[in-house]
Amino acid sequence: MIMRWILPCLLLLTACDTSPAAGRGREVWRFAIEETTGSVQDAYAQRFKQLVEERSHGEIDVIVYPYGTLGTSDQMTEQIHNGTIQLAMASPGHMGKLIPEAQAFLLHFVLSESQKVNHLALGDPRLHAMMAELYARKDLKFLSAFAEGWMAWTTKMPVHTPEDFNGMRFRVMTSPLLMAAYQAYGANPVPLPYSQVYSALQLHMIDGQVNPVFAIQEMSFYEVTSHLVFPHHAQFYTTVAANPDFYEGLSDAHRTLLDDVVEQLHDEIFDIQRRFNDERLQEIREAKPSMQIYELDEAQRDAFRRESLPIRDLYLEIAGEGGAQMLEVLEQAVERARRQLGADGSAPQKRTEAH
Ligand code: 6CS
């Protein structure tokens, strides 16, 4: 609670040179991420910092705040709103409370099995335009969105069928649709902030959680679970958001610079997340040889897919007309990307190499 007020005040006091007005000398752009140092979001933010600082020839300093320094994801969104920070990662897994339509990206079995197809689809300009409109209504500037890899389950017991979730206390991010999604499999979903997941697993308050492999490794979730399961049901998807007054107040040159960097990073981060997820899976294997690591087969995935379908109706109920449009455009984008990339993109890749 104290941090909630003291930190923003401190940032305000030290932000005298962050005025967006042109010609006031050096600017400071504060960028909060929802993950720790060494994560995919950190790689994004560090590269963003490097490119912005280089291209502005010292006119802009970017300060990256890793998860934990400014509070939870919800608190970071609040800080973009009140302008104490200029930029932040904002994942629909938490943001869905504020923008229900964004929960389309949390639905299971909507995406392709091919990461290339998903990357192309998730970059669809129509999706970005819709997100921009929704964010603007909530007084946020939408800058970009990208996937961070396949979501994987780490649990204390084997999971092959929806019945295996029966009664399992399963941690999800805090958006309501995620709770419903795991209730549909029979689990007892427990919404918790990211920072509390490890200790909740360690203290047996929960039996499992879901996150991409790089996060499972760096947050040590594998240490306190025994099974790592790849259902390939969803990707971890996040957005980059800014304070709208900050964005509008930038000089034309700095706004263009920001837009260009964000555009460039969209493809760069795709390769980075693939590398991180592949390398970290190997690290988990080496650090804990007893970890049971497996993929669900097609029949098993079908069973989960069937159980997940009613959640689409719930999504449409929660997210209304805008949500229906978002889901339709997302499905069309996936289909179009599948056709565009052909067999190469749409053929299931050797999955353990393509997380
Ligand atoms: O599970 C979570 O809450 C978090 N997981 C990742 C990979 N990034 C940020 C998010 O808050």
| Residue with CA at minimum distance from ligand 1 atom 2 | 194
Distance, CA of 138 to CA of 120 (rounded, Å): 27
pLDDT for 344 equals: 52
Ligand 1 near 211 CB (within 6 A): yes
Confidence of residue 349 (pLDDT cuts 50, 70, 90): very low
pLDDT, tens digit, 9 for 90 and up, residues 300-339: 999 999 999 999 999 999 999 999 999 999 999 999 999 9
Query: What are the structure tokens assigned to 56, written together?
Result: 């502005």
Q: Which atom of ligand 1 is nearest to the CA of 173?
A: 3
Give residue 74 CA to ligand 1 midpoint distance, Å: 12
Ligand 1 near 72 CB (within 6 A): no
Give residue 56 CA to ligand 1 midpoint distance, Å: 31
Distance, CA of 209 to CA of 154 (rounded, Å): 6
Q: Which residue has the higher pLDDT, 207 or 12?
A: 207
Q: Which atom of ligand 1 is nearest to the CA of 34?
A: 9
Give residue 351 CA to ligand 1 midpoint distance, Å: 22
Give residue 34 CA to ligand 1 midpoint distance, Å: 6
Confidence of residue 155 (pLDDT cuts 50, 70, 90): very high
Q: Which of 34, 73, 175, 190 to mutate to test the pocket of ligand 1 (most atoms within 8 A of CB)?
A: 34
Ligand 1 near 346 CB (within 6 A): no
pLDDT for 25 equals: 74
Cβ contacts of 302 within 8 Å, gap of 6 or more: none
| Residue with CA at minimum distance from ligand 1 atom 1 | 194
Q: Which atom of ligand 1 is nearest to the CA of 197?
A: 1
pLDDT for 15 equals: 45
Average pLDDT rounded to a whole number, residues 250-269? 97
